[in-house]
Every structure is written in structure tokens, then in C-alpha cells.
Structure 1
Amino acid sequence: MKTKTFLATVSAAALIALSGVGAASATTLYADPKVKEPVVDIVQDPAAVPAPEAAGKRAPKTHNVVLTTTEVEAKLDDGTTYTYWTFNNKVPGPMVRVRVGDTVNVSMTNAPGSVMNHSIDFHAATGFLGGGQITQAEPGQTKEFSFKAMAPGVYVYHCATPMVAQHIAKGMFGLIVVEPEDGLPKVDKEFYVMQQEIYATKAKNLPAAEDDYDGLVNEKPGYLVFNGAVGGLVKDKPLKASVGETVRIWFGVGGPNFTSSFHVIGEIFDRVHNLGALDTPPLKNVQTVTVAPGGATMVEFKVDYPGKYALVDHALSRATKGLIGILEVDGKADDSIILDKSGDSRKQLGEMKH
């Protein structure tokens, strides 16, 4: 099978070769894409991170977050499509970035072409089930609410319409970052990555994968992926940086069921804000960070050596079901950091090209 062959090649190579506005003034940050036709590419660009503000205190702001819930047929894997349920036609949905004390206005429209009801629950919001209780929208309906970002952290949002696990597994989740009142230090590159399970199976003679309800309730996924699709962060949208740059990854787990042991093969996290807590001192020099379903973290590290680094869940059998991404680093090699004395690395890195 082409998919399994591709994953085996990628996984083996990766594991062996890759060792100032007032509160009354609102700005619209996330607009309705108004896409009526099904989209082919639901993979969220890992570089689609809202630009940070300069560090330092400022007056509270109001942010307008405009979301559309859609049900679209899109590519899951080579030769395989799947019906995703999304926020703004991407998996994960758009990353939202605010500061503690800011007000967030949410307008969520369930696209008229939807079959299902949808909603949204922000883990950063207090009361009304994070908004889930007041945003249950039938196809064509718009629901609105506002909340105050009261605590800094990295928070998940997701659809809260029953069966909630199904809505999440089909792609309805994302992150909202609530920065401390002083903001965060500047880094060179920021990325947005989320992990999920997809409970679907595909008959050999059919192009589309079908939902597997038994797999969902028994926690036996057909696929595990970063940013929505197999190979999405390998062939299509790899992370990219240069030697000497500091990388920050906002990482979350939509789930709905599996805990992630997030690791970048060949790297050490210089700083980890465990459990997404941004107002506590970070852990330092961490190899692997555990992130629960519905949880998130922020990791930072300086890239010192060029090459391809594999993003994985260190429950490594999951890579065979699609759970792998690539960080491509360009620049000059420093032999004092690591030196290939056998000459095998060039051959093995060649196997990573797609």
C-alpha cells in the first residue's frame, strides 16, 4: 500500500537519519473566509501564527474573532479523501492571540451547507461551558458572545456539540494564546502545531475514508496526524528555520483521546512552559513533553545545526499512522556540535526527500 510504504520510509529515515488601542476600539483579526465550495487543503500552515505585539504593558484591547464552521471533503492522505468538520476550513482552526485582560468578541456562523449543528468552547473562557452553552448553532445560524481573557496560558478551543469527541476528531479544535500582561520575549520563528486522532477506515476500491464509530468509542484510530492530514507537515508545509534562530512552537492536542509525548528528534527544548502555563518559570533542557487531550504547551529552542528534524509523538508506533512532521533547518554545519565520521548522513538525508 502506497501510504504504508511512504510512512515506513519517512519514519525509518526520521528515526535513523535525523538524530496600543483602548478597550473601546476593536480590531478584526480573524475574518470569515466565505468559502462556499469544498476545499482541498485543510492543513493549517504551521507558520500561520498571529504576529506578536512588542513586549511591555499596554491598555486592554478588544478582539473580534469571526469563525465559520464548515463540513468539507478534503485530502487526508495520498489517494484518500475525508469529510472534515472545521473552523474556517482549516485543521486546526485559526490560532487566536490576546493578552490577559483583553476582551474577545466571538461570532460563529454554522455554514448553510452544513448537515450538523456546531458550537465552540474556549478553555480560556469562564462560564457558559466556555461558550459551548450559548453557541449551539444550526446550519445557517450565527451565534455571538464575548469573554474576558482572565488568566495567561495556552488554551484549546473546540466544538462542544454532542457527540463532542466526534466533532473534535473530525477537526474542530484550535488554540487561543493568552499572553501575560507584559507580553512575551521576541523569537525568530513561531509555529502552530496540533495533534489529533482520526477515526476512519477506507476500503481499497473507494477514494473516501468513512467514519468508524466503533473505533471512536473504543479509542482505535485509523490515523493520527499533525495539522489535519497525513504528510501535511512533511511534504506540503514543513516547518522552516535557519541555524542560529530561536524557534517557538505552540503545541496542542485536540485529541479527543490520546495523550502526546511531543518530541523533536535531534533537538532539546531549551524552555518548556509545561501545561501551557505562561506566567510560571519554564522548565529547561527538556527532551520530551507530555500534553494531554485538550491541553497545550509552548516550547522554545535554538537551532544550532542544519538538517531535517522530525516532530513526533514519542509513542513512536503512531508515526506509522501518519503522526510525523518535519522541521527543515538551513545554514552552515558546525562539526564541533556533531560530526559524521562514517559518511552515512548524506545518503540517509537523501532518503528524506519527497
Structure 2
Amino acid sequence: MPELNRRTVLQGIGLGGAASLAGCSTSSTPEATQTQTQTETTMNEQKMASRVAADPADIPSPISRTEPKEVDVTLRPEEVTAEIEDGVRFKYMTYNGQVPGPLIRVRKGDTVNLTFDNPAENDLPHNVDFHAAAGPGGGAEATMTAPGETARLKFKATYPGAYIYHCAVPNLDMHISAGMFGLILVEPEDGLPEVDHEFYFGQHEIYTNERASKKGKHEFDMGAMRREEPTYVVINGEKYACTPDKYGPAKVETGDTARVYFVTGGPNLTSSFHPIGNVWKKLWPEGSLTTRPQTHIQTKQVAPGSTTVATMDFPVPGDFKLVDHSLTRVARKGCMAIVQADGPENSEVFDPNPGK
């Protein structure tokens, strides 16, 4: 494997290459791109993780303060091997070891002090582009690091909303597909309406060189990605990760309200985000929290590189499945999460056995 450091990486992608990649340019030399692609598709299994799926309930609490402050954030691009499903291993690229990366929560007017720490045990350079950052490349050039390097970025959250962040190296589509995306929430100055629960989900597709469910190590397949033919389409990094058969569903009680933060990493497929047996009671399209919410929405398209924020309520008990309504992705490729509501039946709203 060729030695990678910041100098050789930046030389390989050309002078100014780090700046152009932040704008999704492919102006790097073919030789450099081929070398990096070969390196990325033959990475060593340095670290085995038992799980990369983000816990949908593990997110920061709503912000109650009324004044802006400086918020310290650390992101570590971690390359780990984990199972997409039982017996199927894959080399993920993650932020802080999870997919999607951690939900970062700030308030409009806050200053984000980011430490971007690329561990020495990684094989590859990484960076991060924040759609919430008003600056060139969203910080991608400033955070471009080789393994063993640390970069720092400071930006002010000047506009509210829910925004994606993602890796933006020359092979950014591969890095995002392998898990390098997340959501940064910039709360409006007046905060958000109170709810009983908040959950965080992210959808992306994974392209491998083997058929789904074939046991063993799956390598990343660049050709399948070019054809946009994914092996898996998943929510929170693994096949059916947030369901009773894997790590368990998100849980609520009947009568509760929940707000869902949803990000589509892609890199290619638009999600038709739908709650089976429910609707989005209020929905802020594209994560725009300064617009009037839409109401009682059955299915919302969320394009790669975008988000949505939506609320649900639970008048009856049961499993409410969150899916991409391109349903082959649910039935064949693993794209489903569940919110489980516990509590008494309410036959006036829903009676599965009328007359009995």
C-alpha cells in the first residue's frame, strides 16, 4: 500500500485540489484518482466493531438557553469493519464509529469549534463538509487530513435548520456510501416545539461485490456504484438495524409525540420516507425550520444531501415501520426502522377485530 500523508495526498489531487473537491469537483488527475481508489478498495481490516448503527435515541437534548455560545465538537473519521447483516462483513468509513455520524446540536448564532482528528491507524485521508457552514466547501479544505493528523475549524451557525454533513474527498461518493455522513441541527433562536421523544435516522446505500446475504467479507464495488445498483439500502448503517430482530426498535408510549430527524446520505438514491400505519403530523421539508410546516404528510421525498424534520403521534399501540416507499429497498435491501408504541388499545381509532 502506498504511503499516504497530507503532502502526497494534496500533491496527488493537484494544487488547489482540496479546494475543488469541496465543490465536488473531479479535477484531480486520473492517475491520482486511480491510485486512491485502488487504496480505498483494498483497505486492511484494522478494527472490528460489533456495531456501527447509530442508536436513534442517543442525541443531545433540546437547547433551553437564550444566548449564543461556543460549542466544542470533535469528529473522528474511523475506518472499521462490521457486519451489514449476520455473517456479512464490510469495511465502513464512519464519523465517531457510527452511521449516521453523531447528531450535532447547536443554536442559531452559536460558534462551532470543531476538532477533526484523523486517527493514525486509518488508511485514508478524510475531511468534512458542513452544509450548515457559510464558507468555501463547508470546511472541507480546512479539515482535509491524512492519517495521524488533526485539523481545526471554526464557524458560526448563521442560519437555522437541519443540515447534512459528509466527507468530501475526491472519492466522496464512495466515502459517503461507506457511512461518512451525519446531521447538524441548528435550532432557531426560539427553539423547537416540545415533544415527548426525539429520534435520529439516516439512510444510505452500500455497493458491494457480492450478492446480498452471501456470508463473508464484501468489498466495495465501484462499478456497482457507477451503475447505481446497490446491494443494500439501509437505515442507520445496517440491514434492519433498528428493529426487534437486530438492536431493537425505538420505543414510545401511546399518546406520546415524537420528532424524527432524517438525513439521506445517498450518495445517489432519493428516499420516499414514509411511516407505515401513520403520517407525518407536521413536516419541515428539506430541514427548513423557518418555513411553515406541512401537515398530515404520508410520504416525503428526501434527496441525497438533504434532510427532513417531522413529528408523529401514537394513538394506538403497535409497531410503526419507517421505510423508503420504493418498497423493493424494504423487502430486498434492508431499508426499515421501527418505532414501537406500548399502551392500551383504542378501538375507536383502530379495531383489528371488530365484533369480537
* Aligned residue runs from structure 1 range 117-132, under 5 A: 117-132=125-140
Q: Structure 1 residue aligned with 2:59, among 45, 49, 54? A: 49
CA distance in 2, matches of 1:67, 1:131: 13
CA distance in 2, matches of 1:287, 1:256: 24
Shift of the 138–284 alpha-carbon distance from structure 1 to 2, 3 Å rule, reads same
Residue of structure 2 equivalent to 1:337: 349
Shift of the 182–163 alpha-carbon distance from structure 1 to 2, 3 Å rule, reads same
Deviation at 1:343, TM superposition (A): 9.7
Q: Structure 1 residue aligned with 2:297, among 272, 275, 286? A: 286
CA distance in 2, matches of 1:73, 1:88: 13
Q: CA offsets, 1:108-164, max 9 Å, x none?
A: 111111111000000000112000011110000001111000111110000011111
Does the 8 Å contact 2:281/2:313 carry over to 1?
A: yes
CA distance in 2, matches of 1:146, 1:281: 31
Shift of the 120–241 alpha-carbon distance from structure 1 to 2, 3 Å rule, reads same
Q: CA offsets, 1:226-283, max 9 Å, x none?
A: 0000021112131111100001000110000001110010001110011111011101
Q: CA offsets, 1:18-49, max 9 Å, x none?
A: xxxxxxxxxxxxxxxxxx95322111000011
Residue of structure 1 equivalent to 2:253: 242
1:262 aligns with 2:270: no
CA distance in 2, matches of 1:209, 1:343: 52
Deviation at 1:309, TM superposition (A): 1.1
TM-score (norm 1): 0.84
Structure 1 unaligned spans of 5+: 1-35, 345-354
Q: CA offsets, 1:190-229, max 9 Å, x none?
A: 0000000001133787511111110111111000000000
Residue of structure 2 equivalent to 1:229: 238
Shift of the 169–343 alpha-carbon distance from structure 1 to 2, 3 Å rule, reads farther
Does the 8 Å contact 1:45/1:237 carry over to 2?
A: no
1:174 aligns with 2:188: no
State the one-letter code of the partner of 1:289.
Answer: K
CA distance in 1, matches of 2:180, 2:208: 16
Shift of the 240–196 alpha-carbon distance from structure 1 to 2, 3 Å rule, reads same
Residue of structure 1 equivalent to 2:120: 112
Structure 1 outlier segments of 4+, above 2 Å: 201-206, 341-344
Does the 8 Å contact 2:251/2:339 carry over to 1?
A: yes
Does the 8 Å contact 2:87/2:215 carry over to 1?
A: no
State the one-letter code of the partner of 2:122.
Answer: S
Residue of structure 2 equivalent to 1:70: 78
Q: CA offsets, 1:53-104, max 9 Å, x none?
A: 23xx711111111011111111111111100001100011100001111000
Does the 8 Å contact 2:88/2:214 carry over to 1?
A: no
* Aligned residue runs from structure 1 range 1-354, under 5 A: 37-54=47-64, 58-202=66-210, 207-234=216-243, 235-319=246-330, 320-341=332-353
Q: How many residue pairs align between the two structures?
A: 307
CA distance in 2, matches of 1:38, 1:149: 35
CA distance in 2, matches of 1:277, 1:245: 24
State the one-letter code of the partner of 1:299.
Answer: A
Most deviating of 229-238 and 61-70: 229-238
3-state DSSP class of the match of 2:216?
coil
State the one-letter code of the partner of 2:249.
Answer: P
Does the 8 Å contact 1:121/1:129 carry over to 2?
A: yes
Q: CA offsets, 1:175-197, max 9 Å, x none?
A: 00001011112110000000000
CA distance in 2, matches of 1:343, 1:216: 53
Shift of the 205–188 alpha-carbon distance from structure 1 to 2, 3 Å rule, reads closer
CA distance in 1, matches of 2:260, 2:75: 23
